[in-house]
Amino acid sequence: MTKENCLVVLAAGRQLDLLRGEAFRIAKDNKVGWWTDRADLGTRFCFEDAKAKDAFALTCDNFGIRCQDG
């Protein structure tokens, strides 16, 4: 699994559930796969292409949830 198109998100509980739903929607709209993995701090969301990753980063910003490349 490449970490090229991944973001590490600092969220828990309902926020994390919300982001999982958004990641699913974004991946489906872009016809790509996605997965999550544990990170040292937070959860890593990975997508098969950069366009989906960028859309997910914008979603995080819109919800006021901090994320970083990871």
Task: Fill in the amino acid letter for 18.
Answer: L
Q: Give the tens place of pLDDT for each residue, 14-62.
A: 999 999 999 999 999 999 999 999 988 899 999 999 999 999 999 999 9
The pTM assigned to this predicted structure is 0.89
Q: Is the pLDDT confidence value at 12 over 60?
A: yes
The residue ranges of every structural domain in the chain are 6-69
List residues bridging with 68 in a β-sheet: 8
Supply the angle between the helices 50-63 and 14-30 in degrees, to the nearest 10: 150
**For residue 45, which of 28, 10, 13, 64 has the smallest C-alpha distance?**
10
What is the DSSP code (8-state) at residue 3? Answer: -
CATH number for 6-69 (one of 3.40.50, 3.30.2000, 3.90.550, 3.30.70): it is: 3.30.70
